[in-house]
Chains A and B, each alone.
Chain A
């Protein structure tokens, strides 16, 4: 751990005092030339000590990332998956080139091709409770929203994971549609700032529905497989100008059932919840279009916000 500049300077001063040849340097002025030199040297030593600290952190991090058998290693491997590329034979690393039938040769892939092939944007790895099994939750991003990867890509991903995993490890890949979060909110509004529909009357950006925006932003800020805490959501809503009291009347979630493959029934949410699929989706009732074919089902999943004075 790097010492402070003052501590280093003090140790230089201590060494100076033990050196009879330097006893002529007696000025107490903080800007005496010899004092300034001790400060410059102390700053240089501090820079070096801080660099050593950073270096150690980087090395520790690299060691932690590379250590096999850890959950983090599996997560990094999931994120490193490249759809359409083969593995280097006998290794767990992807080739940086692809086979071209016409020329019967391997063509080096461009950076764009490689980054486009990395379809897994989010991943979290946990251990199953009650049995020896790893659960790898994955998701990609479509139109700035989290979504599952197509089924054929999931099969490829599972083949890849089975190829690189340690012997004897059983793995389940979860690539589900998001958990649905249904909120019933009662917002006590300041009528000077928010209208009866929760629309901002004035201000930068003009219009907009800050409560909905804050909920969407909270969901976005939540890390993948992160825990949703209702109290934190309330705190976020409390910060909005025009919101006097944010009151959560009810919150419930439903998620894809692993045996049936469809959404289960809604379960009440008291304090906190880690999403089964790794992420939540919130729909708002007044954003839905009654002409849509799946309107009734969407309405069932939709959250409602009541604005009162």
Chain B
């Protein structure tokens, strides 16, 4: 059994964010999702306590850079905050989103 600890998820974090935040690399995203019996494409509720590995190899350079800037990766797309743009010929702008190829 691998060593694990608890971790509280920040708002709008996806598994890749948690992996980068803890280990400095995204490659453990899948392992973290599987450890918690979740899918890697599933959203995680903010504040949820999940299990994380404590014995994974870290990329210290990335971690140092994140910590020195007090950065917390959180890149989930919140669809509820997205305003749907109106579509149609009346709204399209030539050469911007109305491109004839």
Residues of A within 8 A of B (CB): 4-5, 43, 46-47, 50-51, 54
Contact = CB atoms under 8 A, between A and B. Distances in A.
A217 to B, nearest CB: 13
A47 B27 contact: no
B63 interface: no
Contacts of A47: 16, 29-30, 40-41
A126 B73 CA distance: 52
Interface residues of B, number: 8
Interface of B is mostly: helix
Nearest to A51: B40
Contacts of A5: 26-27
Interface in B1-54: 16, 26-27, 29-30, 34, 40-41
B30 A43 contact: no
A5 B34 CA distance: 19
A31 to B, nearest CB: 10
B93 to A, nearest CB: 23
A43 B16 contact: yes
A263 to B, nearest CB: 35
A40 to B, nearest CB: 9
Contacts of B27: 4-5, 46
B33 to A, nearest CB: 10
A51 B41 CA distance: 10
A186 B13 CA distance: 55
Contacts of A43: 16, 26
Given A46-B26, A47-B16, 4 more contacts: A43-B16, A47-B41, A50-B40, A51-B40
Nearest to B20: A43
18 contacts: A4-B27, A5-B26, A5-B27, A43-B16, A43-B26, A46-B26, A46-B27, A47-B16, A47-B29, A47-B30, A47-B40, A47-B41, A50-B30, A50-B40, A51-B30, A51-B40, A54-B30, A54-B34
